[in-house]
Amino acid sequence: MASDNLQPQVISANWLKSLEVASSTGDAASFVNHFLPDGWFRDMLCFTWNFRTLSGQEKIHGFLSEVVDGQSRLGYSHLHDFKLEDYSVNAPSPFRFPGSLDIEGVQGAFTFSITKPAAYGRGFFRLMQDVDGNWKALTLFTNMQDLVGHEESSADRYGPHETDKKHRYPNLTLHGPKYQSSLLYSPYPSNFPKYLSKGKLANFLESYAINQELCVWLSSTVASSPVYDLFSARWTVEVEHENRKVILHPRHLVFATGVGRPRIPTWNGMDDFQGTLYHSDFHRGAEKFRGKRVVVIGAGNASGDICEDFIAHGAAEVTIVQRSATCVVSSAAANEFLFKLPFSDNTPVEELDFRDGSMPLAFILQLMKSGGTQHLKALDKEYHEGLRKAGFNLSWEPSPGSGEVGFLGFVFERAGSGTMIDTGFGKLIVEGRVKVKQGQDISHFDKEGIAFKDGSKLCTDVIVAATGNELTMDAIRAVLGDAIAEQLPPKVWGLDAEGELNQIYRPTGHPGLWFAVGSLGMTRFFSKHLALQILAQEAGIA
């Protein structure tokens, strides 16, 4: 298929017009026939109050044919009034997936209306030609935008806020470009650096709370496990705030708690170590350790940042203990493959969010296994060779047998644990300024440092455990208690059988309980989906 011969507008308009006929008449068989045999359908809140991903015509047909109030799901929801967007940055255009063979076609966005519930939606499609030359959907995304009569209003913001000092290590910066971590309704100023420092981000968050009139209680803790009353459909939450206890009775609890508490493995002899030992979450700067020997346990982003800090402040010797292989991508390769903007810098980031959100996550991993990861690795070939020569172990499989799904696989399955977007740490390893202790399990600590099971030893003055954080479910259990935690599915995050992330921004299995975790970019996109679900329940629609 020669992309220069494409007529994206004509191809898109013809396909969409035919799809609307199938949708508005409730003809599931015809609707499904608009997909490739192995096409993907991702829906967010248009057909159910949940997120669904279906792969293949048979599963898509089964989903749309399910009976709801005596009608097929397709007929019940009755998506209609399809209108091709020919004016936005997501207007019909050619596409080609980098690193993938023969996956190219036409993509575009459209709007539509939903009958049940009465709502407005927006969709995105990627079309390819089948073996007979007919244009069919490789992917189709349908997304609820607003409930009729409850359209989003910029005036619905209220409440005071309070400020507090943010405690983070001095050289902490975001490892992705600033647009990836911008906030809903409020992009960063154009003169901000590409990678935001901790101070700029913290200050911007405080100003965001002021400008959006958010009600924020800092220095507050949940005093006891919240209790849910099925009869009133309300929670009882006791909060310690400003040295007093406040009893709240909300209908909904949203856990937006980020990563869990610091996770420090227990090794024999830790109390015997006579130097300084702490978790990376509590690193406040390396200046006071000038001239000291340092060991950092762990080989992810936090480890890299902290090692750079120690080197910059004159540590006598820095060694990392790499207990398992790491998926490493240089910032240059990440910018080229993961973060490269398809639009101009002044395009609202929400348009990028919408296009990115239209991709089924399991399909993304399929693309990575079929060539995407190899393409990404090729960008870092010399860099990776240098790391290996220095004894640093690399991996592209988040779990044995998962295939080389690469960086994004680690994100979807392990919330990014075991990954590093390198902003300079790797160069220190290649140059030998940071040494690597790899492949040996820790046996125990003693007063001088760390002993390994192969009989070797690292004598040191400082040990930093860059060993990650507890799982989200552990943090939830700590607040809610065992009784409620046992009612929930066992896993928050990771992909479910369909390829959607478990429990986040969608029903958790317990009424009035929601989990909002993930990156700032994910929050920017999914927070409205969560708000729509809560709104629908409060309005008696869901």
pLDDT in tens, 10-41: 999 999 999 999 999 999 999 999 999 999 99
Q: What is the DSSP letter of 492?
A: S
pLDDT band at 170 (very low <50, low <70, confident <90, very high): low
Mean pLDDT, residues 440-461: 96
Residue 217 CA to residue 178 CA, distance in Å, equals 26
Phi/psi-derived region of residue 310, left when phi > 0, alpha when psi is between -120 and 50, beta in every other case:
alpha
C-alpha pair distances (Å), 32 with each of 155, 190, 191, 197: 41, 44, 47, 48
Report the DSSP beta bridge partners of residue 295: 319, 463
Displacement of CA 19 from its chain's centroid (Å)? 31
Amino acid (one-letter) located at 333: A
The CA–CA distances, whole Å, from 493 to 45, 287, 301, 406, 515 equal 19, 37, 20, 17, 10
**CA 533/CA 273 separation, integer angstroms:** 52
3-state secondary structure 354-379: HHHHCCCHHHHHHHHHHHHHHHHHHH
Element (H, E) at 121: strand 119-129
Residue 159 has pLDDT above 80, yes or no: no
Strand partners, 51: 44
Cβ–Cβ < 8 Å for 79, 100: no
Cα gap 534→541, rounded to integer Å: 10
Mean pLDDT of 488-504: 94
CA–CA distance, 122 with 81 (Å, rounded to integer): 11
**What is the number of other CB atoms lying within 10 angstroms of the CB of residue 147?**
20
Residues 88 and 97: beta-carbon distance below 8 Å: no
Which pLDDT tens digit goes with each residue over 126-156?
999 999 999 999 999 999 999 999 998 654 4
Per-residue DSSP letter, 379: H
Which pLDDT tens digit goes with each residue over 27-83?
Answer: 999 999 999 999 999 999 999 999 999 999 999 999 999 999 999 999 999 999 999
Q: In the prediction, which pLDDT does 152 show? A: 81
Among the listed residues 351, 333, 340, the one whose alpha carbon sits nearest the alpha carbon of residue 97: 340
Which residues on adjacent β-strands are paired with residue 142? Answer: 43, 123
Please report, as a single letter, which amino acid is at residue 294.
Answer: V
What are the residues whose beta carbons fall under 8 Å from the beta carbon of 454, sequence distance 6 or more? 440
Contacts of 150 (CB under 8 A, 6+ apart): 535, 539
Tokens 């209108």 correspond to 83
In tens, the pLDDT along 104-120 reads 999 999 999 999 999 99
**Residue whose token pair is 């959607």:** 500
Contact 450, 265 (CB under 8 A): no
CB atoms within 10 A of CB 384: 19
Joined together, the tokens standing for residue 274 give 């006579």
pLDDT at 164 over 80: no
Query: For helices 349-357 and 520-538, what crossing angle results, to 10°?
Result: 80
Paired sense of beta strands 35-44 and 135-147, if any: parallel
Domains of the chain, earliest start first:
8-147 (3.10.450.50), 270-465 (3.50.50.60)
pLDDT in tens, 264-323: 899 999 999 999 999 999 999 999 999 999 999 999 999 999 999 999 999 999 999 999
Q: What is the mean pLDDT of the chain?
A: 91
> Which residues lie across from 71 on neighbouring strands?
68
Which of 295, 296, 316, 286 shows the shortest CA–CA distance to 458? Answer: 295
Instruction: Name the pTM for this structure.
Output: 0.89
What does the DSSP 8-state code read for residue 319? E
CA dist 95 and 93 (Å) reads 7
Q: Which two tokens stand for residue 314?
A: 């004159």
